[in-house]
């Protein structure tokens, strides 16, 4: 029985490398993995899942208007799809998650979603919210704060200080975001 998986973490926990690894495992066994990612994160090029260790995988872009079910049906008509894998799933909209549910429930194909849970204000992203509501399996990919505790927050840092105001989505990497534990996010310490 296929299921909808939501695997979340803070930044720098290895989500993208996990996407690449899972897709590789399917393909190594002559199975088709449909890999999708948000068009918002263009730091390493559009239509690519790229890990910080330098590995990358081509992916189909999802934007706000994309119908993921239609893409799945079109690609599945060319070659049977055995798994759908999504990177940057926090940027999904409610309708995307509903379409993923349809893929799981009607087509019996597993869907694995990887992304952030909360933003720099410690608020849920839309995609994260709907995946938390609907996912069959929810798993945390853990990483640590500079102090060694489990990181739970993506702090936006400008000029060495945590910023808690601004637009929810501002694309960036290590130059803009730091994974922190709750204590150091709340007290504003980004390093020892």
Per-residue pLDDT tens for 65-89? 999 999 999 999 999 999 999 999 9
For the chain, the residue count is: 192
DSSP, res 142: P
Give Cα 37 distance to the centre of its chain: 8
* pLDDT score of 52: 74
pLDDT above 70: residue 181:
yes
For 4-142, give the CATH class.
alpha beta
**pLDDT tier for residue 44 given thresholds of 50, 70 and 90:** low
Residue from 187, 122, 176 nearest 152 by CA: 122
Which residues are catalytically annotated?
Answer: 88
* pLDDT score of 89: 96
Domain boundaries of the chain, sorted by first residue: 4-142
DSSP β-ladder status, 177-180 and 153-158: antiparallel
* pLDDT score of 77: 96
Enter the pTM of the model.
0.91
């Amino acid at each position: 029985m296929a299921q909808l998986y939501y695997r979340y973490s803070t930044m720098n926990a290895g989500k993208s490398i996990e996407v690449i690894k899972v897709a590789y495992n399917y393909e190594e066994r002559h199975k088709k993995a449909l890999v999708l990612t948000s068009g918002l994160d263009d730091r390493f090029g559009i239509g690519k899942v790229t890990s910080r260790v330098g590995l990358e995988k081509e992916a189909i872009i999802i934007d706000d208007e994309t119908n993921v079910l239609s893409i799945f049906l079109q690609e599945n008509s060319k070659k049977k799809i055995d798994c759908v894998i999504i990177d940057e799933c926090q940027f999904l909209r409610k309708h995307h998650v509903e379409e993923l549910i349809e893929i799981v429930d009607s087509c019996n194909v597993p869907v694995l979603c990887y992304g952030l849970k909360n933003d720099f204000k410690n608020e849920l992203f839309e995609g994260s919210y709907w995946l938390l509501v609907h996912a069959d399996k929810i798993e945390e990919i853990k990483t640590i704060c500079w102090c060694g505790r489990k990181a739970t927050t993506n702090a936006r840092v400008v000029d060495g200080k945590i910023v808690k105001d601004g637009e929810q989505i501002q694309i960036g990497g290590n130059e803009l975001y730091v994974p922190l534990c709750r204590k150091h996010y709340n007290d504003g310490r980004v390093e020892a």
